[in-house]
Structures are given as structure tokens and as C-alpha cells.
Amino acid sequence: MSKEKIFIFDTTLRDGAQTEGVNFSIDDKNKIAKALSNLGVDYLEGGWPGANTLDTTFFNKPPKLENTILTAFGMTKKAGRSAENDPGLSALLNTNAPAICLVGKSWDFHVDVALGITKEENLENIKESAKLFIKNKKEFMFDAEHFFDGYKKNPEYALACIKTAFDEGARWIVLCDTNGGTLPNEIGEIVSKVSKQIPGKNLGIHAHNDTENAVANSLTAVLAGVRQVQGTINGLGERCGNANLISLIPSLTLKKSFSDNFEIKIKKDKVKTLTECSRLLDEILNRKSNRRAAYVGPSAFAHKGGLHVSAVSKDPKTYEHIDPSLVGNVRNIIVSDQAGKSNIMSRLNKYGIKIDKNDPKVQTLLTEVKDREFIGYSYDGADASFELLARRIMGEIPKYITIHMYDVTVKKSASGEIISSAKAQLEVDKKLSICEGEGNGPVNALDNAIRNNIDNLGKYSKYLKDLKLVDYKVRILNTGTNATTRVSIESTDREGKSWFHQTLLKLHLRH
Ligand SMILES: [Zn+2]
């Protein structure tokens, strides 16, 4: 039996752009559009031309998309004017976008309160708007706003709205859970009823995540009949976000109950790029990745407990629901105090360090990690520090740069300005040099001190030049004026590789 096709519709650039604190530039939009087209989504909603300069500019010079249909978003015509004379609709017609997704009301409460027009006028607006685009040979979709809330209150009217658009020739009727409050059981029930009136091959789902069910609601809608799923990368979107395509795509392609019956255009080799795609958006937004993101988060395949780790080493299926490489993610074995030798061995393996598990150096490393964790280090998140420690104990690390001393002071001036200054003495190839710098806080001052004198670091300076401090966290481990402080630092280089390291500082606080 041939599989039924599910179409993937991405709205990161339209609904995703509604997120608090998100302001895409035109470059960002082009970069994201290219990544999505490369991934292979069926539709890409680029924005709302005519509503703002950014979106108009984007549609004036849209990026070249391969096999992905550029879609422009807009709203049904206003009451009291013809579709031909509606400036909003003209702006959409003037784009080269082959598909148009028009939002319109399907909840009578919104027609009365938000629009203040009669129910008949709203139906007329839907009908005339649909007619205009279909006449102009656009692929037309009707986004039925608040469809599920509308259906619960007045099913006849909600159905009349979508049937009006469908009877005019809409390719897709998209059922929207705009407020995101509908639960999976209700979605299943309502979609089943609707698909008796409009064929599932013409239905789509647009779910919001206000009950954390946007992905579940989308999957349920597919099982109940819809064949188009709308969502965003990383679930970006206003309030609690939209349905997360980064979780939906692997569930549709890797889970048997879906993959046996359905197919999507995104094939296995592209599913493998999902982790990269998710991180690209974080990078564009300058956000830290969500460690616990399903499928693609750095913790999604992280194992800590000794028992788990030893089982995973025998067969990863014991504690993993899929092979992480299928979505481009990696297994992460976390070394912790409760872990045994098997943790250490798995982790050494990950860094390509070849050593026999009975070599006494493995026990030395384990003891060292445990001792260090006892005084406050935590190697859970500090991969780079663990690797350095391991290589040092294995005797693989030469002396690159020696830090003989450093001195950091924090001063408050009479005007209230707080300045940190740092001085450090380094040795490279038997040559001593003094580095000095100021900064906003002690870590920044030390970073600047090294950076200001980077050319004195001889043959290593070229490796250090493009290093950037991304983030650091400070944690006081014990209270009192003689506090031990753990500083966790994230760094990155020009190629976007990032790593975590850690150090303990003694802070002497005086009141
Ligand atoms: Zn939405």
C-alpha cells in the first residue's frame, strides 16, 4: 500500500517572528529560508507583505528556494470594500509568491466582538477573498483562526466558514488552535468530524503550545485525517510557542505508527541535519540551546547514572528511544561522582583516547575526578575541562602556555563606576610576558588582558585570536566571607565550535 503524504508548512518567519525579543533582520530571514529549503519543507511562509517594511522587502527580493513553495500571509478582505480594492490583498497579489495563506475568522464571538460585523459579512469576506486569489492562479490556503474554540461554541458557523473557502477552491483549509488551549482528545474528536465534511487531504493543523500539547495535537490531527502540519523551528512563536517542527519531523519519520502509513518530503539524510538546523536558529537569535529539547538537545541522549551508562555501553537501546545520529545528535556520557569506570571509558572513547580499561591511569583519572567533584568541580557540563584533565593524566599534553601569576582587582570609583583590572604573567617558549587589561567584571578583565597582548603569545596567538567568551556562570559553593566559587565558562571559535570549561576560585569577601 502506498503511503499518504504529509505536507510540512513552516511559519518560523511569520508566526515565529511574533515571539517576544525576536527581531529578524533581512539577512536572518534569508539565512533561515535557505536552511528550511535545504531541509526540504513543502511550504515556507515568509511573512506578511504590506504589513511591515521588513516583510515587504523580503518578498520584493525573495531567496531562491529549491522545491519549497514560498507562501505569503495576509488577512481576508475588510468589510465594505471589494476584494479587488482591498490594499492588503493587492500587496499579496503583487508578490511573486505562488501560494497565499489568508487568515480569517471562524469563531462567531470574534466576528461579533473583534470585527464588529455580521456573520454573513464575514462569510462574504472569506468567499470574495478566496475567489480573487484562485482567479489569479495562486495556490490558496485558508487559515481558520480560533477554529477549535469556534467549533466548540458554534459548530455550524465554524464549519460554514471553512466550507465557504473550500467551495471556492481553496487547496488547504488550515484548522488553527490559535489560543493553544485545546487538548489532544478534543483535537482528535473535532478533526474526525470535520474530515467528514472536507476531505483530510485538504486539511491542515496549526497548533499553539499553551498547554504544551502543540506537537501532540498536531500528531493527533494527522491520525484523525489532516495532511498538512504547520509549525516552526524550535517551536518559536508568541506566548508558549507554535508546534515544534524539530520534534514533529523525527516523530513523523522515525516512529513506526507514522512512518508505516505516512511519508514526508524530508528524507532520512535531511532528518540527520535537524540538530544543526535547530542550533542555527539559536545562533541567529544569539540564544543558548535548550539542553533538554526533545531529539536535538545536548541532554537528549545524556547518561549519568553508573547503571544506565553500563547498560548503554552494552546496548544503547536500553536507555535511548532512537539512535541519536538519526537526528544528527550525539550520545553524551556524563561523568559524575556516582559513576564508575564504565563512564570514564565511554567518555575517553568519545574523545578518541585509546586506553585499556585495566590501565592504572584510568583509575587515577577516576579518583582525580571524584576528588575534584568533592571539592566543587562538576564535570557534568564541562566537557573541555574533562578532556584536558584526561589528556594531562594520560601524559598527552605538552606545556603550551604557563600562567605564573595573576592579580585581579575590583574597584569602585567616587562616581560609583565599578571597574575590574587584571594583570597576569605568562610564559611561552621560555619567554615571559605581562598582560594587563580592564573589563566589566573579573572574568572579562582577565579575558581582555590576554586579548590585548595576544601577539606576545608567539606561535599560539593565531589559535587564540578568534576565541570568544560566550557566557559564564558563577556559583558560590559555600557561604561565608571565604567562599569557594565555581566559574563555568563557555567559549566559541570562528567556526562556531563551542566548549565548556570550569575553574574554582577562592573569593575573600570583605564587608
Ligand atoms: Zn499562530
Residue of 143, 353, 159, 117 lying closest to 228 (CA atoms)? 143
- Between the CA of 242 and the centroid of ligand 1 the distance, in Å, is 7
Q: How far is the CA of 241 from the centre of ligand 1 (A)?
A: 8
Confidence class for position 315, pLDDT limits 50, 70, 90: confident
**Whats the size of the chain, residue-wise?**
511
Distances (CA, A) of 132 to 12, 99, 143, 187, 203: 27, 13, 16, 31, 21
Q: Separation of 290 CA from ligand 1 center, angstroms?
A: 22
Q: Can you give the pLDDT at residue 400?
A: 85
Residue 192 CA, ligand 1 centroid: distance in Å: 22
Assign 352 to helix, strand or coil: coil
> What pLDDT does residue 77 have?
96
> Quick check: 452 pLDDT over 80?
yes
In contact, 44 and 58? CB cutoff 8 Å: no
The neighbour count for residue 511, using CB atoms within 10 Å, is: 3
Predicted local distance difference test score (pLDDT) of residue 225:
97
Give residue 379's pLDDT: 80
Distance from the alpha carbon of residue 477 to the mean position of ligand 1, in angstroms: 44
Q: What is the pTM of this model?
A: 0.74
Contact 283, 496 (CB under 8 A): yes
* Plot region of 258 (φ>0 → left; ψ -120 to 50 → alpha; else → beta): alpha
Answer yes or no: is pLDDT of 510 > 70: no
CA distance 236 to 92: 24
Kindly give the distance from the C-alpha atom of residue 143 to the centroid of ligand 1, in angstroms, as a whole number: 9
In angstroms, rounded to a whole number, what is the distance separating the alpha carbons of residues 113 and 94? 31
- Residue 394 CA to ligand 1 center (angstroms) comes to 54
Strand partners, 418: 412
Give the C-alpha separation, 357 to 57, whole Å.
Answer: 60
Q: State residue 508's pLDDT score.
A: 64
Q: Would the pLDDT of 306 be above 70?
A: no
pLDDT at residue 242, rounded to an integer = 98
